Amino acid sequence: MSVIEFRLFNLLHGVKHRLMFGICKLAAIFKKMKTLLIILLTTIGYFASGQLSKTYLFVGTYTDGKPDKGIYIYEFNCKTGNLKKVFSGQNITNPSFLTLSPVGDYLYACTDTKLPEEGSVSAFKIDSVKGSLTFLNKQKSGGENPVYLTTSRNNEFVINGNYTEGTVSVFKTNPDGSLNTYSQIIQFKGSGTNARRQDKAHIHATVFSSDFEYIFFPDLGADKIRVFKFNLYEAQPLKSLENYDYTNVSGSGPRHFTFHPNHRFAYCIEELSGTITSFNYESGKLDSIQRIFSYSKLQEEYNSADIHISPDGLFLYASNRWDNENTISIFSINTDNGKLTLIGHQSTYGDHPRNFTLDPTGNFLIVANQVTNNIVVFKRDKKTGLLTKTGKEIKVPRPSCLKMRKYGS
């Protein structure tokens, strides 16, 4: 073989090797692309079939004043009503009330409640894939026994109500969802005719109007619904509108408050009188139009608790606590004038229904019975509003608050 032939042979041999290497590399790339394509198509398929959609029930509890699991998360099946536990917390004391940020990425809890000392507000990050919480931080609440909190439209502020102290505290949030120390605290004064329960102001809820321009504070101790203007761009965003305050019937004890989905009506459940007051609503102003009894029978004392409206705006539900009561009252809503008509009562199959919620589809209503440590699922008839026990029930120690949210498609 001549020198030229030898060099040509080596050149062709090198080209062959490089060509084979290139082909192998391309094959590997195509294999990876095929794998990625399969994953992509599978993911799209899951989304299309709704299998990545999850609905969670968040449960707040009383822990007998000592650190415990406290907050539980259950995955809820919106077709069957089944509940499957996916998470329980740790080292949390009396997280008695919960609220979720508007897009569901953070959870805030009234913690260290019902203790003979200042309570706290705690922040958690929600992992909606795993259905779990990560503790971020907590701040002093500015008073004893925080009982209710809510967030502004885009989670810029968290507004908390301290029951025992009769104060409202305002927390600016950080970009990571954690809380700064409160930037504003408002002390209320007043009392009512029930000496045992109305010795002083007792704020029991903090509820924004649908446009987030106003916020309402039912004061059980003073028989008032306090009205404030909310200014997002102020460090102290709450400004009192005393002329807008609504004075409830003496001794009624306003507790929880909710707006109708059409934003024209509002409703307040009055704990001490077992009644619900209905309002016309416009731009921060409440005009009462009706007061209706919620219990199924007369009592020596009343202990009304929670109030919610079905997603379609056709029915209102309220919980009534007492030894021979423990019911959910069911009302139809006249969507023209906002008035209520009682259509029935449903036993909660437990004692002390402190809190309840409706699932996002409106097919189910879920009740937390605090004393009997059970959460009961009811099927809701969307046409009649009536409730039927499903047989689905879980045991949770001293449940006090339920929140639900759907994640995914």
Q: Which helix (H) or strand (E) holds 3?
A: helix 3-49
Half-sphere exposure of 221 (CA within 13 A, CB side): 19
SS3 166: coil
Q: How far apart are CA 233 and CA 237, in angstroms?
A: 7
For residue 30, the surrounding DSSP H or E stretch is helix 3-49
pLDDT digits (tens, 9 = 90+) for 315-358: 999 999 998 999 999 999 999 999 999 999 999 999 999 999 99
Query: What stretch of H or E contains 36?
Result: helix 3-49
| 114 φ, ψ (degrees, to nearest 5) | 55, 40
Q: Which residue has the higher pLDDT, 397 or 2?
A: 397
* Better-predicted residue by pLDDT, 44 or 63: 63
Gyration radius of the chain's alpha carbons: 28
Q: What is residue 249's DSSP assignment?
A: P
Mean pLDDT for the chain?
91
- Six token digits for residue 71: 């907050």
Q: How confident is the model at residue 220 (pLDDT cuts 50, 70, 90)?
A: very high
How far apart (Å, rounded) are the C-alpha atoms in residues 149 and 204?
A: 9
Per-residue pLDDT band at 49 (split at 50, 70, 90): very low
- How far is the CA of 248 from the CAs of 14, 109, 127, 169, 259, in angstroms? 94, 28, 41, 23, 17
Nearest residue to 205 (alpha-carbon basis) of 164, 245, 254, 243: 254
pLDDT of residue 400: 98
Q: Which residues pair with 120 in a beta bridge?
A: 111, 140
Cβ atoms of 251 and 194 within 8 Å: the answer is yes
CA geometry: angle at 318 spanning 193 and 359, to 5°?
145
Alpha-carbon distance 176 to 119, whole Å?
23
Q: Is 86 left (phi over 0), alpha (psi -120 to 50) or beta?
A: alpha
20-29, 73-82, 162-171, 332-341: range with lowest mean pLDDT: 20-29
Higher pLDDT, 32 or 378: 378
How confident is the model over 81-103, as pLDDT tens digits? 999 999 999 999 999 999 999 99
Give me the amino acid identity at 89.
Answer: G
Bridge partners, residue 281, by sequence: 286
Residues in the chain: 409
Q: Which two tokens stand for residue 5?
A: 């032939």
Q: CA–CA separation, 362 vs 365, rounded Å? A: 8
As a whole number of angstroms, the distance between CA 208 and CA 226 comes to: 12
State the pLDDT at residue 52. Answer: 75
- Reported as half-sphere exposure (CB side, CA atoms, 13 A), residue 224 has a value of 20
Least confident stretch, 4-13, 40-49, 298-307, 356-365: 40-49
- DSSP for residue 242: G
Q: pTM score, two decimals?
A: 0.88
User: For residue 190, how many other CB atoms are within 10 A of its CB?
Assistant: 15
What the block records as the tokens of 317 is 């539900």
Q: How confident is the model at residue 256 (pLDDT cuts 50, 70, 90)?
A: very high
Q: Which residues contact 92 (CB under 8 A, 6 or more apart)?
A: 63, 67, 68, 69, 70, 71, 109, 111, 122
> What's the longest Cα–Cα distance across the chain?
119
Q: Partners of 178 in the beta sheet?
A: none
Residue 378 has pLDDT above 60, yes or no: yes
Q: How far, in Å, CA of 263 to CA of 279, rounded?
A: 11
- Cβ contact 160:179 at 8 Å: no
State whether the Cα torsion 215-220-225-226 is positive or negative. negative
The reported pLDDT for the residue numbered 375 is 98
Are the C-beta atoms of residues 159 and 134 closer than 8 Å to each other? no
Cα–Cα dist 187/165, whole Å: 8
Please say whether the beta carbons of 121 and 149 come within 8 A: yes
